[in-house]
Structure 1
Amino acid sequence: MSAQLNHTIVWCRDKRVSAHYLAEILGLPAPEPFGPMLIVKLDNNVSLDFYDNDPPIASQHYAFLIGDDDFDQAFARLQARQQPWWADPGKQRPNEINDYGGGRRVYFDDPDGHLLEMMTQP
């Protein structure tokens, strides 16, 4: 048997704000509407389906494996927003880049408090 993740729903207060935020930071195509959702498509045919929900929004973690050049560009966009970032998921190492596994990774919050991670090595 073979199983692959196809999509997941991301609960948010404002799907337009949250979906466009992710697409902008990661340099992805603009979100596309599908029914009541906005869809952000990733390169591996997985999508994040942003769906409005009433607060409180339970924080989730989403990790994105990206190339070195893409990391540089996404990290520059994160810094341009003057958004806090951390080297660890516990948010104990602010303004640092983690080099675990020989790559680079940072953690940051999206507009709904979901903890996002960008990494260059799995």
Structure 2
Amino acid sequence: MAVELNHTIIHSRDKRESAEFLAHVLGLGIGAEWGPFIQLDMSNGVALDFVTLPAKMAESIVPQHYAFLISDEEFDAAFERIRARGITYYADPQMQRVNEINHEHSGRGLYFRDPSGHGMEIITRPYGHTEDA
């Protein structure tokens, strides 16, 4: 039996703002609005469905973490879009090393927040990767 993640719902203060923000950073297009969702399709078939929470609920969004494995070329392009837009980025998940990238797992990575406060990460190598592996 093959089990795959098909989609997940990301709670947002404004689904369009959040979907467009992440799509811009990753260089993706957004899907059409479908019911209460705006979908962002990843190349591995997983969809991120952004939904706007009612105002009272949106105040208490629990930040989640989303990590995206991208190529070195995609990282360069995303990093340039992040810097061009003035988005604060960090080298570490605690978000202490401001405006630095990391070189963990024989690659590069960085963290940033989306408009709803979720922690986003882009990496060029999966965790545990080494040049010798």
Give the TM interval when normalised to the shorter protein.
Answer: over 0.9
Give the Cα–Cα distance (whole angstroms) in 2 for the partners of residues 74 and 31 of structure 1. 20
CA drift at 1:67: 0.5
CA contact (8 A) 1:98 1:104 kept: yes
Letter in 2 for 1:77: R
1:99 matched residue in structure 2: 103
Indicate the SS of the match to 1:79: helix
Give the Cα–Cα distance (whole angstroms) in 2 for the partners of residues 90 and 13 of structure 1. 23
1:4 matched residue in structure 2: 4
Deviations 1:18-47, CA, capped at 9 Å, x for gaps: 001111110012232121100000000000
Which aligned runs of 4 or more in structure 1 are off by greater than 3 angstroms? none
Give the Cα–Cα distance (whole angstroms) in 2 for the partners of residues 88 and 74 of structure 1. 17
Give the Cα–Cα distance (whole angstroms) in 2 for the partners of residues 9 and 30 of structure 1. 15
1:78 matched residue in structure 2: 82
Q: How many residues align?
A: 122
1:23 matched residue in structure 2: 23
Give the Cα–Cα distance (whole angstroms) in 1 for the partners of residues 31 and 95 of structure 2. 29
Give the Cα–Cα distance (whole angstroms) in 1 for the partners of residues 61 and 35 of structure 2. 21
Give the Cα–Cα distance (whole angstroms) in 2 for the partners of residues 47 and 67 of structure 1. 19
Where structure 1 has 5 or more consecutive residues not aligned to the other structure, the ranges are none
- Scaled by the length of structure 2, what TM-score is found? 0.89
CA contact (8 A) 2:30 2:38 kept: no
CA contact (8 A) 1:60 1:114 kept: yes
Indicate the SS of the match to 1:38: strand
Larger Rg over CA atoms: 2
- Scaled by the length of structure 1, what TM-score is found? 0.96
Deviations 1:52-92, CA, capped at 9 Å, x for gaps: 11322110000000001110000100001111110010011
Supply the RMSD in Å over aligned alpha carbons: 0.8
Superposition pairs of residues 57-72 of structure 1, within 5 angstroms: 57-72=61-76
Give the Cα–Cα distance (whole angstroms) in 2 for the partners of residues 31 and 72 of structure 1. 24
1:14 matched residue in structure 2: 14
Pick one of 109, 112, 122 that aligns with 2:113. Answer: 109
